[in-house]
Every structure is written in C-alpha cells, then in structure tokens.
Amino acid sequence: MADILGAGAGWLMIAMIAGLMGCFLVKIQVIKKEAVAECGRVCSLCGMFAMGEYLLMLLMNTAIYGTSFNTDFASVLQHALFDGIRSNGAPVHGYLQVSVALMAVSGLLMYFAVKKNADGKAAWKGTFLFYMLPGMEICFLPGICCLVPPVVSGAVFLLRKKVHAEKIVNNETVYAALCVLFAILKSAVLYIMAVGV
Amino acid sequence: MKKKLCTWVLAGFAVLLIHDVMLLAGCVLIHGNLSMESLKNLIWDRLTMPGDAQRYLQIAEEGYATEGENAINLVFYPLYPLLIRVFSLGIFDLAGTGMVLSRLFLMGCGAALYELAKADGDESKAWYSVLLMGVYPFSMFTVGVYSESLFLFLTVLCMLLIRREKMPLAGAVGFLAALCRVQGMLLIFPAVYCVVEGRLGKEKRKIRKSDVCLLLIPFGFCVYLLINAALHGNPFQFMIYEEGEPWYQSTKWIAENISSQYHNAQNFKGLETIIYWPQIVLYFGVIVLIFLGMKMDVRMEYLLYAGVYLGFTYLSGWMISGGRYMLCCFPVYLIISQLKNEKIRWGILGASCVFFFLYSLMFLKGYAIM
C-alpha cells in the first residue's frame, strides 16, 4: 500500500507540473485550452488504468498468499524478474511512478495516433485496446523493459499516416473479440507476475 | 473607503473571534471552569511554551547564538523574533508581545484574504474564504508565538499587491515573507508569471521598470544566508543544523516521503491521526484542488503558488508539522470558495469546523500536534 500511495503521490506531482505548464502555454496563447484539457484527460485516465493494474496484482498477491495489504509489495514478490528490486532494497514506488508516467505517455501517443484518422471515440477505443495488450505490464519492471510501451506507441504515432491503427477499432466484431482475448491473456500475465510460477 | 475599512476590520475580527471562542471552550472543557487563572495558564502553557515558540522567544531575547545548544536556533528565520524584540520596546514581556503580534497579523490576514477573494468573486465567496482559513484544522498556531500568522499575512498581501500591479510594494512585502519563512521566496513564481503573462498573453503589456522590484522577493532568503555566513562562516549552516537533532531533516522526492508517512502511520500508534494521516490526506486533497482549479479556470498565479508550495513542503524528508505548514497555502481557501457545488463547499467548511474543534482541543490538552 505504501508503494501505491508513494507512487501515486509522485505521479500526481509530475502530472500537476505538466498541467500547470500546459495552462501557462494556454495563457500565453501558444496552444488551445481544449488541447490541454484533452491531454489531461487522456493522461489521467491512462495513469489510473496503470495504477489499477498494479493494485490488481497486489490484491492477487494478498489473496493467494494471505499477506497483509499493508505489506510492501516488493517484500512479497515471488517472480524472479523482481529480484533486482528486492535484492538492492530500492523502493518500488520509485520505479512505479516512472512506469505509470511512461504508461500515461504511451496512452497519449496511441490516442493521438488513432485520432489522426478517426474521431475521439475511436481514439479512446484504440487506447483501451493498447492497454489491454497482454505484456504491457512489462512496463512495471525496472530497467529497459519499461521503455517498451512508449517506444511501441511512439512508433505507431510517428507512422500514424501509414499504419491506420483505427481500422482495428472500426470493426466492432474484431474489436470485441480482441478485447475478450486480451483480457483473458492479461489476467494470466498479471497472475504470473503477482504470484510467480 | 470607510465602508471598505469597516469590512476589513470585521474580517479580521471574525477570524480572531473563532480562535478566542475556541480558547474559551477549551478552557471550560479542560479545566472545567472559565476563570481568568485557568485561561491564563492554558494560554501560557499551550501558546507560548511548546515547540518552536520557545525558540522564537530565545532568539528575540538573545539573538542567534554562535555556540552552545541554542546555536541550532539559526534554523528559524529572523523576521518574527526581530519584530517581537522591536515591539516589546524593551519593557513588555516577549511572549505577550509575540502573541499580540500574532493576533494582529491574523486580523491583517483576514482582511487581506477577504480583499483578494473579493477581487475574483462576490462578497459571499470572500467571507467563505476568510471563514475557511479561520477554521482550518491546524490554525490554532496563528494565535500563539509562532510565525504562521505573520507569514500568512505577508504572502496574502504580496499576492494582493501583485494582483493590483503595485510591484515595488509587492517586492518589498515578498522580501519580508522570504525573511520570515523559506517558502516566502516561492512568491517569485507567481510574480514572474504575472509579468510574463502580461507581456505574452492577451494584454501584450510592456514590462515596466517597476516590475523589476519583484526580484526583491528572493533577496529575503539571501539576507538569511548572509546571517548564516556572518555568524558561522557558512551561508548554509542552517542546513547542517536541520539535519541533526531534533529535526533530522532531509530532502527527498515526494513519493519516498509519502511512503514514509504511511509507514510512520503504521508504526507510531497515537500519532497517526494527529500527524501522519492528516499530512497524507492534505497532500492528496490539495493536489486534487489544484487540478480542479485548472478545470475551473482559477487564476494561474494562485495555482502556481499552491503547486510550488505543496511540492516544496512535501520534499521534506522528516515532516511532522505538515498540517501547520499547509495552513499557509492560502490559494486552497480561494479555490474551495470557487467550487460551484454549494453542498460540497459547505460540506468542506463543516468538516473543517469539526476537525478544527477536535485538533484545537487536543492541542490545548497537550497532544503532540506541532
């Protein structure tokens, strides 16, 4: 719980600084207020989604191992990939807030990549699908892994004119099927990361 | 002008009355009677003795010591004890002078906050802001020998003067604020913003010579550094004292500090409801208010000051007075007064009243609220 509170506090401070800078740019008429508001909405929802995933892993760990919800997540992590955090005693919240910030930026890039060729609703659907990708949780791991989501979404954003990501979300049947499939696979990945194999 | 003066005096007295009523209620509840003796003992014991109060009085009496156990008093900024010394005129009791000054500055703060809030909204919102400040849960320090009311008065006044584009006066008041508490120099952020926004925003106002006066603000802190250097040969001597006993201060990123606060809330039973959880709740509460302020288009200079004040305060690695520090984040009162939902506004005021009563009573009873 301390990890979540700490990471949430750190991430909110980063978001606040970004928000104030955005408001300043609006006041000196560099960008429009609607653009800042839209970016703020996307980043906050993406950040909350990321924190929600982490909370889910914590709940799974608590449920399976019967550990207290107040126990530091890092002290009960079973998966070998988290050995780096446990062995050097580094605070998990430090990685977590960076991960959440990177996930928020990834969501923002994906949102505007889809919105280039479609509307806001399609952009939200595309961003949601991106987050549902199994393995996005790799962003929570320390090291270079956390750069994978922003690099992927960055690439989609840069190639948005050629990639046409909105085609996936336009087909309702395919979209629904992918959502269900990703949800099942994602749950498995979250379970493995939280509980270990 | 006469009407304005009357309103200011009324606003000032309103804030003071809240605390005086609380003192009287506290006297009855703690001592079981309302005698002059009981009231005097209560005020003396709780408003002049605990925590920082004694240190301010030591500085007022002896100045900064260069050696011995009182040398660590250097961590306290000089303006408030200097005013105590000056206004005691060498004849009045220092503690009594300190309390009178705090009460006068509290009244001044009520008037200044009223005027600042009225500039953006109607009279009812201005009164709301003043009342909310009066019943802030940790506002009991504004009537004791503490620098809170002086600092709050100077910062609100500085913002009001910036708002009215009286830059030389704003610079002078900001200078004094920075000489009162370290957070005073943060006023440079909204000050510079106002000048830049005036130049690059809709108005396209030219930068005037008088705008340069705002650069006086951080010089208050420079004077404090000079005092450090003059006494100890090291302009940052105060940081060495802050790291040691009894403060053990350090500067760490907010995430680490909030995590520590949570751990401390688990480990220090009895202190979690009066120190640690309030600090955690205040952090998240204020940051949510800042985001709401952005959405409601609250004045940018208020949001900027609130943001830098919050961030600066919560970089403190061993914070036990967060509730008291956040009392002086005055944009919070202005943002809440501008919330559109009346039920939420009155709900916040009501909750603040309840917690003000509880924490004031606990403080007067000797609980570790600091």
Q: What is the SS3 string spanning chain B?
A: CHHHHHHHHHHHHHHHHHHHHHHHHHHHHHHCCCCHHHHHHHHHHHHCCCCHHHHHHHHHHHCCCCCCHHHHHHHCCCHHHHHHHHHHCCCCCHHHHHHHHHHHHHHHHHHHHHHHHHCCCCHHHHHHHHHHHHCCCCHHHHHCCCCHHHHHHHHHHHHHHHHCCCHHHHHHHHHHHHHHCHHHHHHHHHHHHHHHHHHHCCCCCCCCHHHHHHHHCCHHHHHHHHHHHHHHCCCCHHHHHHHCCCCCCCECCHHHHHHHHHHHHHHCCCCHHHHHHHHHHHHHHHHHHHHHHHHCCCCHHHHHHHHHHHHHHCCECCCCCHHHHHHCCCHHHHHHHCCCCHHHHHHHHHHHHHHHHHHHHHHHHCCCCC
* Residue B359 resides in a domain: no
pLDDT at B327: 95
Q: CA of B270: how far to CAs of B29, B141, B301, in Å?
A: 21, 21, 38
**Interchain pair B259, A5: CB under 8 A:** yes
Residues B139 and B33 in one domain: yes
pLDDT at residue A169 tops 50 = yes
Residues B8 and B154 in one domain: yes
**Interchain pair B263, A19: CB under 8 A:** no
Domain count, chain B: 3
* Residue B361 resides in a domain: no
pLDDT at B48: 85
Residues B143 and B213 in one domain: no
A interface test, pick of B186, B261, B262, B292 with most A CB neighbours within 10 Å: B262
On average, the pLDDT of chain A sits at 76
Residue B29, chain A, CB below 8 Å: the answer is no
**Interchain pair A70, B300: CB under 8 A:** no
Distance (Å, rounded) from C-alpha B300 to C-alpha B189? 11
Domain count, chain A: 1
Residue B267, chain A, CB below 8 Å: the answer is no
Mean pLDDT of the A83-112 span:
69
Residues B47 and B94 in one domain: yes
The residue among A68, A46, A47 whose CA lies nearest residue A1 is A68
Residues B199 and B84 in one domain: no
pLDDT at residue B358 tops 80 = yes
Residues B183 and B324 in one domain: no
Residues B149 and B226 in one domain: no
Of residues A146 and B265, the one with the higher pLDDT is: B265
Ramachandran region, residue B352 (left: φ > 0; alpha: ψ -120 to 50; beta: rest): alpha
> Which residue in the set B201, B290, B311 is minimally distant from A28, CB to CB?
B201
Residues B142 and B276 in one domain: no
Contacts of B266 in chain A (CB under 8 A): 70
B149 close to B142: Cβ distance less than 8 angstroms:
yes
A93 close to B252: Cβ distance less than 8 angstroms:
no
Residue A13, chain B, CB below 8 Å: the answer is yes
> Which residue in the set B259, B284, B307 is minimally distant from A2, CB to CB?
B259
* Residue B282 resides in a domain: yes
ipTM for the complex shown:
0.87
pLDDT at B130: 94
How sure is the predictor about B351, in pLDDT bands with cuts at 50, 70 and 90?
very high
Cβ atoms within 10 Å, residue A171: 11
* Residue B242 resides in a domain: no
Residues B190 and B311 in one domain: no
* Residue B229 resides in a domain: yes
Would the CA dihedral through A131, A134, A139, A145 be positive or negative? negative
Residues B1 and B125 in one domain: yes
* Residue B364 resides in a domain: no
Distance (Å, rounded) from C-alpha B137 to C-alpha B355? 5
Residues B155 and B69 in one domain: yes
Residue pairs spanning A and B at CB distance below 8 A: 85
Residues B201 and B93 in one domain: no
Q: CA of B110: how far to CAs of A46, B55, B166, B278, in Å?
A: 41, 26, 20, 24
Report the residue count for chain A. 197
* A170-174, B56-60, B138-142, B167-171: least confident range: A170-174
* Residue B121 resides in a domain: yes
User: B129: domain range?
Assistant: 1-164
User: A126: domain range?
Assistant: 2-195
Residue A137 DSSP class: G
pLDDT at residue A1 tops 80 = no
Mean pLDDT of the A85-103 span:
64
Q: What percent of chain B stands above pLDDT 70?
A: 100
* Residue B312 resides in a domain: yes
pLDDT at residue B158 tops 50 = yes
